[in-house]
Amino acid sequence: MGRAGLLLRLAWRNLWRNARRTVILLLAVTLGVAAMVFAAAFSRGMVVAMVDDAIDHLPGHVQIHAPGYRDDPAAEHRFPYPQGRLRAVLDGPLVAAWAARVRVPVVVASEYDTAGVTLLGVEPRREAALAYLGRASVDGRPLADANDAGLLIGRRLAERLDTVRGRRVVITAQGADGALADRGFRVVGLFRSPWSSEEKGIALTGLATAQRLLRLPGEVNEVAVRAADPERLEALVAALRAAAPELEVADWRTLSPLTHAGQQLYSQFTWVWYLVVFLGMAFGLVNTLLMAVLERTREFGLFLALGMRPRWILGQVWFEALLVLVLGLAAGNGLALALARALGEVDVSAFAAGAELAGLAQRIPLIIHGGDLALANGLVLALGLAAALYPAWRAARLAPVRALRRN
Amino acid sequence: MDALVTLRAVTKTYRQGEVDVPALRGVDLDIAAGEFVCLSGPSGSGKTTLLNLIGGLDTPSGGHIQVAGRDLARLSPGERAELRLRHIGFVFQAYNLIPVLSAQENVELVMELQGVGAAERHARARAILAEVGLAGLEGRRPAALSGGQQQRVAVARAIVSAPDLVLADEPTANLDSENGRRLLEIMRRLNGERGVTFVISTHDPEVMAFARRLIRLHDGRIQADERRDGPP
């Protein structure tokens, strides 16, 4: 230990010469660090929930379309049901689940009203593993298989059409050949969704039924894919593009730029929050250390007279900052972890409309991520020690004879 | 004998507002190793300034100072601190001790800075504290010691690492006569037995009576430099 041990001992004892001041400073650092870690956990939870929600409703991390479909989502922009190399990738280790769908804009009419909606022709078994709508709570019966001729619509759409389960509606669309196609469907179930846009604007039927209606035998408009490892999204996209070079493969960041922008915005918000909290903390730390240096000026003069080098004086004050920061970090992390564990998640359903508008989930999980912890702790420690350099430098550059004269 | 301390044409002028106040006006002085020197003179005569300059705590306005063969003007603040650490012990009039360290830790402080091992430090500190009559008080912090006991701890700290030179500024000023005499006895013994050089500034006639060399300062100049065979 040697001189470092001496400086550490002096720093520790000097801290407790004014215990009240030190406790107040420690509390400030503790609360600041806890606020940083908690905010990071909330922010990460918000981003994860937002992205998960988007993936669940988009749906999928990646979608495959025929060229032109994303600009004009019409039945004519179609491609064969996955097979060959594309099917091999979809059934491979990079993919957790996938579903092929017919997806076109249609008009749905009841006896009382009409509405423009999106018709999804789905394979219910595949859809359940991929998307929220495949698992949504249904008043009535869910779709049984790809040949199911029943229609599932959202609760709010049913209200708008003034129809109920068991009644018939007519769907009119433009088929793949450009001719109008229409057909009567019985509403077999009403689904619920936290996204009102889904409840108002989606109707589901069996894939084969939709193919027959739109004259798309063996063809689909969309393949939605859930990645086995979202961290390896680039590899999945590359594999899909290689397997189906004639199709357009896009990940969720392209398909939902608002969600991606939100993800980045919340990450930046975390940085701004870190900065605000840190500035408050650093102000308290530097002020307290400057006061301690001023109070002990004569003592520093004595140290210099006894042969302590200026850089060891600097070290002494710096160690005081280090001890406060380390103790504050330990307590702050403990407090934030305990709080996050106790709460688990934050319920923002009271602000459901605003949350949906902002693309947020209604329950935000508090996610303590090792990287966030390391960043918050590293930032406080590094910047805190940098801020402490000024009072330490002030102490180190004291002229011994002037310092000794100070009472 | 080579001089331990050499001053040549040393001047020191302080600036107080718009006015220059000369504290030393050209001092030439040689102090040999093993001397017991008293600096006397009225307040403002330059005693403390001279001690501070010899100890490298302050820099002269003019002239040259050599201590232990080193020209102080050529040393950085860090090197001057190192010189004090290895060669010079200080005893001040008051506020001599570090309040957060015990008597023993205060005595060990200089040795710890010098890098002396813990076992040797402890043994030497306990022995020197016993020598100055403070056995049993090693664990007490300065606030729990009397003024006389604090000064003896300061003397113990100044001499424990066997420096070449001890600079003491009015060491008995805050002590009663009994404690003052006791402190002087310790210094004289160290000077006689260990050959430690003492330079003491004082107003106290008892301290002056102990000196083998008495230098009288007046208005920043050496007015008299008197050598004696030995204390009475």
The enclosing domain of B140 has a CATH number of: 3.40.50.300
What pLDDT was estimated at residue A121? 96
- Looking at the structure, tell me whether residues A288 and A272 fall in a common domain: yes
- Looking at the structure, tell me whether residues A38 and A153 fall in a common domain: no
Is B200 within the bounds of a domain? yes
pLDDT of A379 higher than 90 = no
- Looking at the structure, tell me whether residues A46 and A67 fall in a common domain: no
From A212, A230, A255, the end of a domain falls on A255
Average of per-residue pLDDT values in chain B: 90
| Chain segment A256-267, per-residue pLDDT in tens | 888 888 888 887
- Are A400 and B57 in contact (CB < 8 Å)? yes
Please report, to the nearest 10 degrees, the dihedral formed by the alpha carbons of residues A338, A342, A345, A349 taken in order: -130
What pLDDT was estimated at residue A355? 63
Is B232 within the bounds of a domain? no
Q: What is the count of structural domains for chain A?
A: 2
Structure token digits, residue A21: 């001041």
- Asked if B113 and A305 touch (Cβ cutoff 8 Å), the reply is no
- Are A401 and B100 in contact (CB < 8 Å)? no
**Chain B interface test: which of A17, A295, A309, A402 (most B C-beta within 10 Å):** A309
Closest CA to A191 of A224, A233, A150: A150
Nearest chain A Cα distance for residue B206, angstroms: 26
- Asked if B90 and B157 touch (Cβ cutoff 8 Å), the reply is no
- Are A302 and B58 in contact (CB < 8 Å)? no
DSSP 8-state code for residue A77: S
Residues in chain B within 8 Å Cβ distance of A3: 112-113, 115
pLDDT of A407 higher than 70 = no
Strand blocks (E) in chain B = 3-16, 19-32, 36-40, 62-67, 70-71, 88-91, 165-169, 197-201, 213-218, 221-227
Dist CA B114 CA B101 (whole Å) = 17
Interhelix angle A257-295/A19-57, rounded to 10 degrees, is 170
Q: Which amino acid is at B201?
A: S
B52, B81, B92 ranked by CB distance to A307: nearest: B81
Number of H helices, E strands in chain B: 7, 10
- Looking at the structure, tell me whether residues A205 and A64 fall in a common domain: yes
Rounded to a whole number of angstroms, the distance between the first and last alpha carbons of chain A is 32
Is B154 within the bounds of a domain? yes
pLDDT of A273 higher than 90 = no
From A224, A239, A255, the end of a domain falls on A255
- Looking at the structure, tell me whether residues A328 and A244 fall in a common domain: no
What interface predicted TM-score (ipTM) does this complex get?
Answer: 0.89
Coil, helix or strand at residue B221: strand
What pLDDT was estimated at residue A57? 82
pLDDT of B231 higher than 60 = no
Dist CA B185 CA A60 (whole Å) = 92
Under the banding of pLDDT at 50, 70 and 90, the label for residue A43 is confident
**Residues of chain B in Cβ contact (below 8 Å) with chain A:** 52, 55, 57-58, 77-78, 81-86, 88, 90, 92, 95-96, 98-101, 109-110, 112-115, 157
Dist CA B46 CA B48 (whole Å) = 6
What pLDDT was estimated at residue B55? 94
Percent with pLDDT over 70 in chain A: 96
**B38 to A248, B47, B206: CA distances (angstroms):** 97, 10, 11
Dist CA A282 CA B80 (whole Å) = 34
B57, B83, B86 ranked by CB distance to A404: nearest: B57
Nearest chain B Cα distance for residue A405, angstroms: 11
Dist CA A10 CA A392 (whole Å) = 14
Structure token digits, residue B201: 């500034």
- Asked if B61 and A309 touch (Cβ cutoff 8 Å), the reply is no
Nearest chain B Cα distance for residue A312, angstroms: 10
Interhelix angle B103-114/B77-87, rounded to 10 degrees, is 120
- Looking at the structure, tell me whether residues A313 and A218 fall in a common domain: no
Under the banding of pLDDT at 50, 70 and 90, the label for residue A346 is confident
Range name among A95-99, A113-117, A395-399, B170-174 with the lowest pLDDT average: B170-174
Q: Which residues pair with B133 in a beta bridge?
A: none
- Looking at the structure, tell me whether residues A267 and A397 fall in a common domain: yes
Dist CA A188 CA A185 (whole Å) = 9
- Looking at the structure, tell me whether residues A49 and A73 fall in a common domain: no
B82, B84, B100 ranked by CB distance to A305: nearest: B84
What pLDDT was estimated at residue A359? 58
- Looking at the structure, tell me whether residues A213 and A290 fall in a common domain: no
DSSP 8-state code for residue A130: H
* Residue A10 lies in domain: 2-55+259-405
Residues in chain B within 8 Å Cβ distance of A299: 98-99
From A255, A276, A295, the end of a domain falls on A255
Q: What is the count of structural domains for chain B?
A: 1
- Looking at the structure, tell me whether residues A334 and A371 fall in a common domain: yes
Closest CA to B2 of B53, B60, B51, B70: B70
Closest CA to A48 of B2, A56, B62: A56
What pLDDT was estimated at residue A170? 96
Is B38 within the bounds of a domain? yes
| Chain segment B57-89, per-residue pLDDT in tens | 999 999 999 999 999 999 999 999 999 999 999
Coil, helix or strand at residue A316: helix
- Looking at the structure, tell me whether residues A189 and A337 fall in a common domain: no
Q: What are phi and psi of B198, to 5 degrees?
A: -115, 135
Q: Which residues pair with A184 in a beta bridge?
A: A170
| Chain segment B160-218, per-residue pLDDT in tens | 888 999 999 988 877 778 878 888 888 888 888 888 899 999 988 888 888 899 999 99
What pLDDT was estimated at residue A56? 84
How many residues are recorded in chain A?
Answer: 407
Closest CA to A244 of A146, A98, A52, A96: A98
What pLDDT was estimated at residue B232? 42
Is B107 within the bounds of a domain? yes
**Chain B interface test: which of A401, A402, A405 (most B C-beta within 10 Å):** A401
* Residue B218 lies in domain: 3-69+76-227
- Looking at the structure, tell me whether residues A111 and A231 fall in a common domain: yes
Dist CA A281 CA B83 (whole Å) = 40
Under the banding of pLDDT at 50, 70 and 90, the label for residue A190 is very high
**Chain A interface test: which of B12, B75, B86, B109 (most A C-beta within 10 Å):** B109
Dist CA A259 CA A267 (whole Å) = 12
Dist CA B37 CA B167 (whole Å) = 10
